[in-house]
Amino acid sequence: MKYEITGKEIGLRKMCIDDCEKIVEWRNNERVRERYVYREKFSLESQKKYFKEQVLTNNVFQYMICELNNNDRAIGSVVFKDYKPADRQIEYGLFIGEDDTVGKGYGKETAELSMQLGFDTFEVDRIISSIFCDNIPSLVINIKAGMLPCMILHDVACTDGERKDMIIVEAKR
Protein backbone atom coordinates (compact mmCIF):
# COMPACT_ATOMS: atom_id res chain seq x y z
CA MET A 1 0.00 0.00 0.00
CA LYS A 2 1.42 3.39 -0.97
CA TYR A 3 0.76 5.97 1.71
CA GLU A 4 1.36 9.69 1.48
CA ILE A 5 2.01 9.73 5.23
CA THR A 6 1.82 7.23 8.08
CA GLY A 7 1.55 7.41 11.84
CA LYS A 8 1.52 4.71 14.52
CA GLU A 9 -1.92 3.32 13.78
CA ILE A 10 -3.12 4.86 10.54
CA GLY A 11 -1.91 5.93 7.12
CA LEU A 12 -3.31 8.33 4.54
CA ARG A 13 -3.39 7.29 0.91
CA LYS A 14 -4.84 9.06 -2.12
CA MET A 15 -8.43 8.20 -2.89
CA CYS A 16 -9.13 6.15 -6.02
CA ILE A 17 -12.34 5.51 -7.97
CA ASP A 18 -12.77 2.15 -6.22
CA ASP A 19 -13.18 4.00 -2.89
CA CYS A 20 -16.37 5.74 -4.02
CA GLU A 21 -18.61 2.95 -2.75
CA LYS A 22 -17.18 3.25 0.79
CA ILE A 23 -17.47 7.05 0.74
CA VAL A 24 -21.17 6.71 -0.18
CA GLU A 25 -21.75 4.19 2.62
CA TRP A 26 -20.02 6.41 5.20
CA ARG A 27 -21.55 9.72 4.12
CA ASN A 28 -25.01 8.13 4.29
CA ASN A 29 -24.35 7.09 7.91
CA GLU A 30 -26.46 9.41 10.10
CA ARG A 31 -23.55 9.89 12.55
CA VAL A 32 -21.41 11.27 9.71
CA ARG A 33 -24.12 13.07 7.72
CA GLU A 34 -25.30 15.22 10.65
CA ARG A 35 -21.79 16.76 10.88
CA TYR A 36 -21.99 18.27 7.39
CA VAL A 37 -23.79 21.24 5.88
CA TYR A 38 -24.67 19.06 2.87
CA ARG A 39 -26.96 16.36 4.27
CA GLU A 40 -28.59 14.83 1.22
CA LYS A 41 -28.17 11.11 0.59
CA PHE A 42 -25.17 10.23 -1.53
CA SER A 43 -25.41 7.95 -4.57
CA LEU A 44 -22.62 5.96 -6.17
CA GLU A 45 -23.26 7.73 -9.48
CA SER A 46 -22.92 11.21 -7.95
CA GLN A 47 -19.83 10.21 -5.95
CA LYS A 48 -18.11 8.87 -9.06
CA LYS A 49 -18.99 12.10 -10.87
CA TYR A 50 -17.55 14.10 -7.95
CA PHE A 51 -14.40 11.97 -8.05
CA LYS A 52 -13.92 12.56 -11.79
CA GLU A 53 -14.80 16.28 -11.74
CA GLN A 54 -13.26 17.33 -8.43
CA VAL A 55 -10.60 14.85 -7.26
CA LEU A 56 -9.06 13.96 -10.62
CA THR A 57 -8.91 17.65 -11.62
CA ASN A 58 -7.26 18.63 -8.29
CA ASN A 59 -10.09 20.94 -7.28
CA VAL A 60 -10.10 18.87 -4.07
CA PHE A 61 -7.51 16.47 -2.69
CA GLN A 62 -9.07 13.43 -1.03
CA TYR A 63 -7.31 10.77 1.02
CA MET A 64 -8.44 7.56 2.64
CA ILE A 65 -7.68 6.92 6.30
CA CYS A 66 -6.47 3.33 6.66
CA GLU A 67 -5.77 1.12 9.67
CA LEU A 68 -2.18 -0.07 9.32
CA ASN A 69 -2.61 -3.10 11.57
CA ASN A 70 -5.90 -4.28 10.07
CA ASN A 71 -5.00 -5.18 6.49
CA ASP A 72 -4.92 -1.49 5.53
CA ARG A 73 -8.71 -1.29 5.93
CA ALA A 74 -10.09 2.10 4.91
CA ILE A 75 -12.01 3.63 7.84
CA GLY A 76 -12.65 7.23 6.78
CA SER A 77 -11.52 10.11 4.66
CA VAL A 78 -9.68 13.44 4.67
CA VAL A 79 -10.45 16.19 2.16
CA PHE A 80 -8.42 19.30 1.41
CA LYS A 81 -10.35 21.94 -0.52
CA ASP A 82 -10.46 25.65 -1.34
CA TYR A 83 -6.73 25.64 -2.02
CA LYS A 84 -5.52 29.21 -2.40
CA PRO A 85 -1.81 29.11 -3.29
CA ALA A 86 -1.58 32.92 -3.53
CA ASP A 87 -3.04 33.23 -0.02
CA ARG A 88 -1.03 30.18 1.15
CA GLN A 89 -4.18 28.68 2.68
CA ILE A 90 -6.23 25.48 2.39
CA GLU A 91 -9.26 24.07 4.19
CA TYR A 92 -9.43 20.51 5.42
CA GLY A 93 -11.93 18.17 7.01
CA LEU A 94 -11.99 14.56 8.08
CA PHE A 95 -14.49 11.95 9.07
CA ILE A 96 -14.25 8.47 10.52
CA GLY A 97 -16.77 6.33 8.65
CA GLU A 98 -16.43 2.94 10.31
CA ASP A 99 -18.47 2.90 13.52
CA ASP A 100 -16.25 0.28 15.17
CA THR A 101 -13.22 2.61 15.00
CA VAL A 102 -14.79 5.65 16.69
CA GLY A 103 -13.09 6.46 20.01
CA LYS A 104 -9.81 4.68 19.23
CA GLY A 105 -7.76 7.87 18.78
CA TYR A 106 -7.70 7.61 14.99
CA GLY A 107 -9.31 11.03 14.59
CA LYS A 108 -6.58 12.77 16.57
CA GLU A 109 -3.82 10.90 14.75
CA THR A 110 -5.48 11.68 11.41
CA ALA A 111 -5.74 15.38 12.30
CA GLU A 112 -2.04 15.48 13.22
CA LEU A 113 -1.02 13.69 10.03
CA SER A 114 -3.32 15.95 8.00
CA MET A 115 -1.65 19.07 9.39
CA GLN A 116 1.78 17.69 8.46
CA LEU A 117 0.60 16.57 5.02
CA GLY A 118 -1.17 19.86 4.38
CA PHE A 119 1.79 22.05 5.28
CA ASP A 120 4.32 19.87 3.44
CA THR A 121 2.32 19.03 0.30
CA PHE A 122 0.56 22.32 -0.37
CA GLU A 123 3.21 24.64 1.07
CA VAL A 124 0.61 26.74 2.86
CA ASP A 125 1.04 28.86 5.97
CA ARG A 126 -2.53 28.33 7.24
CA ILE A 127 -4.92 25.38 7.36
CA ILE A 128 -8.51 25.95 8.43
CA SER A 129 -11.43 23.69 9.25
CA SER A 130 -15.14 24.44 9.73
CA ILE A 131 -16.75 22.50 12.59
CA PHE A 132 -20.25 22.71 14.03
CA CYS A 133 -20.15 24.03 17.60
CA ASP A 134 -21.92 20.93 18.92
CA ASN A 135 -19.36 18.57 17.34
CA ILE A 136 -17.24 18.43 20.49
CA PRO A 137 -15.18 15.34 19.48
CA SER A 138 -14.04 17.03 16.26
CA LEU A 139 -13.24 20.28 18.03
CA VAL A 140 -11.21 18.42 20.66
CA ILE A 141 -9.17 16.36 18.18
CA ASN A 142 -8.39 19.39 16.03
CA ILE A 143 -7.34 21.47 19.03
CA LYS A 144 -5.15 18.60 20.26
CA ALA A 145 -3.62 18.50 16.76
CA GLY A 146 -2.62 22.16 17.12
CA MET A 147 -5.55 24.08 15.68
CA LEU A 148 -7.07 27.04 17.51
CA PRO A 149 -10.51 28.65 17.21
CA CYS A 150 -10.37 31.86 15.16
CA MET A 151 -13.94 32.69 14.16
CA ILE A 152 -17.57 31.78 14.79
CA LEU A 153 -20.13 31.64 11.99
CA HIS A 154 -23.65 32.03 13.34
CA ASP A 155 -26.77 30.41 11.94
CA VAL A 156 -25.22 28.35 9.12
CA ALA A 157 -27.97 26.81 6.98
CA CYS A 158 -27.78 23.08 6.32
CA THR A 159 -29.41 21.50 3.27
CA ASP A 160 -32.10 19.90 5.45
CA GLY A 161 -33.15 23.31 6.80
CA GLU A 162 -31.45 23.06 10.19
CA ARG A 163 -29.42 26.12 11.22
CA LYS A 164 -26.39 25.79 13.47
CA ASP A 165 -23.38 27.77 14.64
CA MET A 166 -19.98 26.78 13.34
CA ILE A 167 -16.44 27.38 14.61
CA ILE A 168 -13.56 27.96 12.22
CA VAL A 169 -10.31 26.57 13.62
CA GLU A 170 -6.89 27.24 12.17
CA ALA A 171 -3.34 25.99 12.31
CA LYS A 172 -0.45 28.17 11.25
CA ARG A 173 2.91 26.93 10.10
Report the alpha-carbon distance of residue 122 to residue 60 in Å, rounded: 12
Q: What is the 3-state secondary structure (H, E, C) of 9-60?
A: CEEEEECCHHHHHHHHHHHCCHHHHCCCCCCCCCCHHHHHHHHHHHHCCCCC
- What digits encode the pLDDT tens for the residues 29-82? 999 999 999 999 999 999 999 999 999 999 999 999 999 999 999 999 999 999
**Can you give the residue ranges of every domain in the chain?**
5-125
Report the alpha-carbon distance of residue 18 to residue 7 in Å, rounded: 24
Asked whether 171 and 115 are in contact (CB, 8 A), the reply is yes
- What digits encode the pLDDT tens for the residues 115-155? 999 999 999 999 999 999 999 999 999 999 999 999 999 99
Q: What is the pTM of this model?
A: 0.95
What number does CATH give the domain 5-125?
Answer: 3.40.630.30
Residue 120: what are its φ and ψ, rounded to 5°?
A: -75, -45
pLDDT in the model for residue 4: 97
pLDDT in the model for residue 110: 97
pLDDT in the model for residue 27: 96
1, pLDDT greater than 90:
no
